[in-house]
Structure formats: structure tokens, C-alpha cells
Structure 1
Amino acid sequence: MALVVKNNMQAKNTLNQLNRNEKALSKDLKKVASGMKINSAADDASGLSIAEKMDVRLRSLEQDNQNVQNGNSMLKVAEGAMSSTVDILKTMKEKVINAANDTNSDADRAIIQKEIDQAIDQIDDNANAMYNGKVMLDGSKNDYVKEPGTFTHLTNSSFADGVGESTPLVNLTARTGDSVGILAGDTITVSYVKNGETHIKSFTVEEETWFGDVFDWTPCNEDLTIQDFPEDRSTIGEDQFGNTVYTPDRGEAITYRSKNPGIDGQVSGLTICVQDKEGNLRKSANAILDNFNETIRAQNPTPDNAIVLQSGTKANEAIKVGFSDMRSVALGLKTPEGKTLNISTQANANAAINVVDTALQKVLDLQTKIGSVESRLDYTSSNITVAAENTQSSMSVIRDADMAKEMTAYTKDNVLLQASQSMLAQANQNSSSVLSLLQ
């Protein structure tokens, strides 16, 4: 091989190898220091892209889980307020039953009335329960209610098929086929409560007193009307979304509907009492006639203001929960003007029993809804946790460094670097041998 001094190719080749070893060692150091085998797009462009997308999803899932937990906390605040309202209504039921007992004097009922008034005020306080500045149970966070609002529907499924508005009371039959047991000369007392105000009417049954005549008195005929669907008498009416509501067993039923929509037109506490000529209660008839239950609740029209809990990584992956109005006016316990449910007489107290039952059912319906969403959120949180764990595991396979493997590579590249440095010094030394020819 020729001896040259201008271009020392051995040193040049060794230097290039030294630079490659230095770069390799630098990469090894990054991997060992960071714990990741992909630190930049240059390491693995497609791998980095996939890993970054997984990282975005992982962080999104962790935020979803936080959202769900915060939502659960909000629901627990609402549930606590609902539980308090349920306890209050339980006590109110005891009080109105006590007031309906004629062993009490008017003075006794006046004292009970004061307790009722305070209890109703506390129900309004419960409805103002707040979470992070949001009032939840005042109707402002309700689901969509179509215009002009919903009507109160009171349904009784205890009658035989074919019973309707034009059926004589003396011919009423129960679903079992037995006669209801109303006779001419009996006295029927009808009472209902509209927005906390009690209306009572009594009349004597005649041979040609029709079922529709029961509510044919003012103001009842201005507040209630019989709902009649000749083609399908299992139909009750429309709910807040405009969907048709049917009886649970799709059997025929008698339904009375408030004539006016919304809370201002709501009717609650419908009570029908039958007595014979001697004033004795006809218990079998009363058990059937007093079986009108609220099947559609009166609500004011409102846009969809339900609480949205973002629980997914994509748009519209959310859980919605609406809180209906739990204030005393909406429960039928108080008039919009502030007059509370009246139990000053035995008749009023008797009518109030069904009012409290109806209010309790409204509260329990919402409490059940809240509880079911809480249970769903628990499952959602568990699902998100598993998804986050699996996403992190997949990202780890792509991006995390095998430390034993990387330390082996580091050791190898470190030895090669040192060897390259030694060989570069040797290659540089070899060129100096030319000087011996120049002496």
C-alpha cells in the first residue's frame, strides 16, 4: 500500500466509524435515561404517531373518569336532598292521617297545620340544593317538555272493559266481573286538590246517574275531563316528549285529564267516597273508586336543560340526567300564591292523604332515576378504568424501552466508541512513519 500524507484514509474511515458509534451511544443514553425506545420521530415515525394517539386517548379516558366521579358527587347531593324530602313526606302522611281522625278538634288540626306548613317550606329548601353553583331540583335542569306542557293524567285500571263516561254508576263492574256495589240513594263525595286548594262535592246517586256525572260540577268540570280513546282504551295520553303512554298491561282503563296543561293546571289527590243511605262506608266500592293514580305528571314546557356528563373520548359520548321540579308547588302541596295544603277539616284532611301519596310518588320516581344513573356511572367508571389500563399497556409495548436490552446495547456501543478512539489515534500515528523517508 502506498504511503501518503495528504489523505489519511485509515484515519478518515476510523473517524467515520467513531462518529457512528458516538451517535449510537447517544441514542442508547436517551433510551436508558428516558425509559422509552421512541424519543423522537427519527427513532420510529409511525410508532411515535401511534403512541401519541394512544397517549391522547389515555389522558382523555383519565379525564372522563374524573368527569364521571364529579357527576356522581353531584348526583349524591341531589339524592341527599331527595331523601330528606321523602322523610318529610313520610311525616306529613302521618300528620294528615292524624288530622283526618275526628278525635281531633279544630284547634288540634290548626296545630297540625302549622307542622304541615313548616314541612312544606323545608321541601322548597331541599329543592334549592346546589352543586358548584347549580340549583338542581327547582326544574331548571329538567329534560325537554314539549309545548304547551303536560297534563295531569289520573288513571284507574280497576274497572271492567267497556266501562266509560256513559256507564250508569249503579251498573259499574270491576275487572273481576263483580258489581262495584253502588246503589241508588247512595251518597258520593268527590274531592280533589288543585295547586294546594281542596275542592269537595257530594251528591246522591240516582238510577240514571252516569259515570261522567261524577265530575259534572263547577269548578271540577273546569279542571278535569275524562280521557276517551274509543279505538284503544288502553291509551292514557302523551308524556313530556310527545310519546304515547299506555296502561302497563295494555288493558282498558278510565283516565281523567286536567283541562289545562302545566303546573298551574295540575290536579292531585282525587278521592271518591261512597256511603249508603245510613252513612256507612261502602268499602268495596271505595277500594275501586279510590284507585286513581297519577300516570302522567303535569309539567311546564321547558327546553332540554338536562345535566350532561361527558363520559367518552368522542363528541356526544355522554350521559344525560334531568331533574324534574321538586318544589312544593310542583308537588301539588302549595298554590302559586303560597297557600299550603289545607287540613283544617276532616274532609280536607282526608283529601290531603292522596295528595301526599301523589307527591311522594313524584319524589320517589326522581329518586329512583337518580339512583339508577348513579349505578350506571359506577359501571361507566369501571369500564373507563379498564379501557385506560389496556390503552396504557398497548402504548407501553410500542414506546417503552426494554432496559436490559438497551443496557446491553449501551455497553456494546460504549466499548466500540472507546475502540474507535484508540484506533483513530493509531491511524494518525501510522502517517508519521512517512517522516522516516524524509530524513
Structure 2
Amino acid sequence: MIINHNMMAMNTQRAMSVTTSAQSKSIEKLSSGMRINRAGDDAAGLAISEKMRGQIRGLNQASRNAQDGISLIQTAEGALTETHNILQRMRELAVQATNDTNTDSDRRELQNEVKQLKLEIDRIGNTTEFNTKKLLEGSAAGPREKVDGVVQINNNSSLSISGLKALQDTFKGIGEGKASSSGVLINGAVILVRETKTSGSFQSTDFALYTNDGKRLSGSNMSSYLNISQSGIKLGSSITASTAAQGKQVGMTLSGMKVGETVTFVFGKNEDAKKVLSGSMMFQIGANAGQTTFAAINDMRVKALDLSGVDISTKWGAAVAIERIQQAIEKVSSQRSLLGALQNRLEYTIRNVDTAAENIQASESRIRDVDMAKEMMNYTRLNILQQAANSMLAQANQAPQSVLSLLR
């Protein structure tokens, strides 16, 4: 028997220390309700659940975004309802003024009311806003023009560019190319191509890429797209291209063209891309980048509705006004229909996003939350072990005391 090292007590103390540590973690899980309180509890589970948490919070915010979008649409649609009512009244007055039972003086009085109604349409268009954002004065109308790029065709061919400035140029073929489709999205941002050179060798033609806010884009391995018409027939052709830094275009090719064919590129107005782009509203309706939808609300003021010249002070002017006002009514109806369709879509989006968030929340819960019944069983077991260890440690400490009997 030895007394310098009480191995039984040391072994018991070590076992009790392990039990105490496990019991502490069990108490932490029971008190927090979480199976994973730190990375050490389950490193892989923590990483997976954190990604899920990001998705859940993103989806919840996307649902709120969609609800805000519906509120914006309802604000715009409510204002357009009044615009509709005003236009119907104007049409009614125009029909009345066309009737020859009215004198010229009567028609002038009717025109005075029309003037006031037009002023009210402009007031509605200028003042309708949501969160200080103007809705009906055209700033949310979306892109008005698309600016296209230039293509290189196999062998020698002619090129014509139409718009404010039209020209033809002959350039060298650079080998086989690829076909793709029109339209560009880079990380959810619509990219338009603005040509900066229309003569010389097209193997060194410079291009600039712009985002929706008109800022120049830098990057690599981007795609450029355009619409091509051949003999008046619009083709679904496109091009695959790579870009160097600062958006310079290189190596753009198109296949399937024959020698001598003319490819027409419509540049629209000869404006800077920043001016061509407009402020289409974008709603983020998903948890990830690019999960967006757009809303375009056209200018709903008098000039945009082509009502500036409406004058019912004469019989013939009133007859013309009926047609113009009817066209304006149809424009407003079309805009309201689009807004109504988008509102319905956002309502479906909210339900879908909420369901997705709920399902991911359930998955995250299964990974991260503790099973209380199971953990209580574990805690009870550890508690019994702790009490047994305390008792055994007392017994182990009593064993060396028997040596004293030998010294009596």
C-alpha cells in the first residue's frame, strides 16, 4: 500500500471532472434550448445552420419587400383611379360639346372645366409619391431605348447602322464565331453596350458597358448582346464576346452569315447611355442576388397622355378630343392592368417566400435545436454519475487512512 499517490482518488477525480464538464454542457443546452451553442458543439452543423439562417432572414426581408412593393403599387393605382375618373369626365364633356345644341359660349364654359381637369391630372402626376419617390411623372418608366453593339462577320461583308446617323462599313472576317441570345444580365444588372467607334478595323473597335445608373462597368468574360435584322426580318441571333478591363470589347464574332449580306444595327437615338437609361423600379423578392422583378410606371401627366392640345371650345375640336381622350383612357387602363398583374404576382411571391422561409426554418431547427426529452435523460444520467463520483471519491480518500492503524 502506498500513500504518496492515491491513484483511486486521482482516477475518481478525473472521471468526476469529465462528468462535471459534460453536465455543464448539458445544463447549457437545456437552459438555451439549443443543441449548438458554439462551433465546438457541431462545427459542420453550425456552418450549415448559419447559411440557413441567412436564407431565412433574407426570405423574411424579401417578403417585407414584396409587401412594400404592393403598397407602392396600390398608391400608384389609387392615383390612376382618379386620373381615370377625370378622363371619363373630360370625355363626357367632349361628347357634350360636339352636340350642336350648344352655343359657342357653352363650349367655352365646357372648355374651362376641361382646363381645370387637365391641371388636376398634372397635379396628380406630379405629387403622387411613395416614401418621397415620385410614381407618375415618368422617372419609373424603365428603359426607353436599347443601345446595341457591333459584330464581326466571317469574310468581307457590308455593315449598316441605322438611327440618327446611318453608315456602311466593310470589315475583315476573323474566323468562325458563336451564336447566343439577346439581352444581358451581369449579377442582376442590365448591361447596355455603347459603341464609341464606327470606322476602321472592327478587330479593334472599342465599346463601353454601362449599368442601370449609367456607371461604366469593369470586368472580364462578360457577354454582349444585340438584335440583328436581315432584309427586314428580325433574327434571334446574338454574339459571345469577352471583355478586357474597363469594358473594352474584344473578339466579338457571329456565325451563319454569308458574304455580301447586310446586317443592320439599330442604335435608336444617338445619346449617351446614361441618358438613354431610365429609372425602372426593381423589387428584391428573393434572398439571393438577381432574384428581382421590375415595375415600370409610365408618365401619366397631360403631355405624356397627348392631351395638351385638347380643346372642346369648337365642335370639330370636341370631335377630335373624344378620340384623344379615349386613347388616354386606354393608356391609363393599360398601366393599371400592368400594375394589377404585378400586384397579384407579388401576392403569390409573398406566399411562396413565406412557405420557403417556414420550411428552411424547420430544417434549421432540426439541426440546431435540442431535443429536450433526450437531453433531460442525458442530464439525469450525468447527475447520477456525478453523485456516484462524489461518493467514490470520499471512499478513495478514506483508503489511505487504514495505514494509521499500522502505526498504533
Find the counterpart in structure 2 of residue 52 from structure 1.
50
Is residue 309–residue 320 contact of structure 1 (8 Å, CA) maintained in 2? yes
Is residue 281–residue 294 contact of structure 2 (8 Å, CA) maintained in 1? yes
Find the counterpart in structure 2 of residue 193 from structure 1.
none
1:304 and 1:413 map into 2 onto residues whose CA distance is 68
Matches within 5 A, 1:278-317: 302-317=276-291
- Which residue identity lines up with residue 138 of structure 1 in the other structure? E
Is residue 282–residue 295 contact of structure 2 (8 Å, CA) maintained in 1? yes
2:304 and 2:310 map into 1 onto residues whose CA distance is 13
- Partner-residue secondary structure (3-state), 1:386: helix
- Which residue identity lines up with residue 139 of structure 1 in the other structure? G
- Match among 357, 367, 379 for residue 326 of structure 2: 357
1:391 and 1:9 map into 2 onto residues whose CA distance is 52
2:6 and 2:404 map into 1 onto residues whose CA distance is 14
Q: Displacement of 1:302 after TM fit? A: 4.1
Find the counterpart in structure 1 of residue 166 from structure 2.
none
2:381 and 2:288 map into 1 onto residues whose CA distance is 46
- Match among 7, 16, 22 for residue 20 of structure 2: 22
Q: Indicate yes or no: 2:39 matched with 1:41.
A: yes
Q: Which runs of 5+ in 1 are unaligned?
A: 149-230, 238-260, 263-300, 335-339
- Which residue identity lines up with residue 347 of structure 2 in the other structure? D
- Which residue identity lines up with residue 29 of structure 1 in the other structure? I
Find the counterpart in structure 1 of residue 132 from structure 2.
133
2:363 and 2:92 map into 1 onto residues whose CA distance is 61
Is residue 142–residue 302 contact of structure 1 (8 Å, CA) maintained in 2? no
Q: Indicate yes or no: 2:381 matched with 1:383.
A: no
1:302 and 1:381 map into 2 onto residues whose CA distance is 33
Find the counterpart in structure 1 of residue 115 from structure 2.
117
Find the counterpart in structure 2 of residue 293 from structure 1.
none
- Match among 296, 303, 322 for residue 296 of structure 2: 322
- Which residue identity lines up with residue 399 of structure 1 in the other structure? R
Q: Indicate yes or no: 2:386 matched with 1:413.
A: no
Is residue 72–residue 377 contact of structure 1 (8 Å, CA) maintained in 2? yes
1:327 and 1:302 map into 2 onto residues whose CA distance is 21
Is residue 143–residue 302 contact of structure 1 (8 Å, CA) maintained in 2? no
1:11 and 1:58 map into 2 onto residues whose CA distance is 51
- Partner-residue secondary structure (3-state), 2:40: coil
- Aligned-residue RMSD, C-alpha: 1.9
- Which residue identity lines up with residue 310 of structure 1 in the other structure? Q
Q: Indicate yes or no: 2:6 matched with 1:32.
A: no
- Partner-residue secondary structure (3-state), 2:49: helix
Q: Displacement of 1:30 after TM fit? A: 1.0
Q: Displacement of 1:435 after TM fit? A: 1.7
Distance 1:18 1:364, change over 3 A: same
Q: Displacement of 1:377 after TM fit? A: 0.3
Q: Displacement of 1:322 after TM fit? A: 1.1
1:310 and 1:20 map into 2 onto residues whose CA distance is 51
Q: Indicate yes or no: 2:392 matched with 1:423.
A: yes
CA deviation vs aligned residue, 1:36-91 (integer Å, no higher than 9, x gap): 11111111111111111111111111111111111111111000011111111111
User: What is the TM-score of this pair, normalised by structure 2?
Assistant: 0.68
- Which residue identity lines up with residue 424 of structure 1 in the other structure? L
Q: Displacement of 1:147 after TM fit? A: 7.5
1:425 and 1:127 map into 2 onto residues whose CA distance is 88
- Partner-residue secondary structure (3-state), 1:424: helix
Greater C-alpha radius of gyration: 1
Matches within 5 A, 1:54-73: 54-73=52-71
Is residue 100–residue 347 contact of structure 1 (8 Å, CA) maintained in 2? yes
1:368 and 1:438 map into 2 onto residues whose CA distance is 106
Q: Indicate yes or no: 2:77 matched with 1:79.
A: yes
- Partner-residue secondary structure (3-state), 1:115: helix
Find the counterpart in structure 2 of residue 285 from structure 1.
none
Find the counterpart in structure 2 of residue 144 from structure 1.
143
Q: Displacement of 1:33 after TM fit? A: 0.7
Is residue 17–residue 420 contact of structure 1 (8 Å, CA) maintained in 2? yes
Q: Indicate yes or no: 2:318 matched with 1:366.
A: no
Q: Displacement of 1:304 after TM fit? A: 3.1
- Which residue identity lines up with residue 281 of structure 2 in the other structure? I
Give me the identity figure in percent. Answer: 42
Matches within 5 A, 1:85-104: 85-104=83-102
Find the counterpart in structure 2 of residue 105 from structure 1.
103
2:123 and 2:276 map into 1 onto residues whose CA distance is 22
Q: Displacement of 1:111 after TM fit? A: 1.1
1:416 and 1:98 map into 2 onto residues whose CA distance is 98
- Which residue identity lines up with residue 120 of structure 2 in the other structure? Q
1:435 and 1:402 map into 2 onto residues whose CA distance is 52
- The number of residue pairs the alignment matches comes to 286
Find the counterpart in structure 2 of residue 436 from structure 1.
405
1:110 and 1:13 map into 2 onto residues whose CA distance is 110
1:74 and 1:368 map into 2 onto residues whose CA distance is 15
- Partner-residue secondary structure (3-state), 1:42: helix
- Partner-residue secondary structure (3-state), 2:54: helix
Is residue 144–residue 304 contact of structure 1 (8 Å, CA) maintained in 2? yes
Is residue 90–residue 117 contact of structure 2 (8 Å, CA) maintained in 1? yes
Q: Indicate yes or no: 2:396 matched with 1:401.
A: no
Is residue 67–residue 311 contact of structure 1 (8 Å, CA) maintained in 2? yes
2:146 and 2:310 map into 1 onto residues whose CA distance is 28
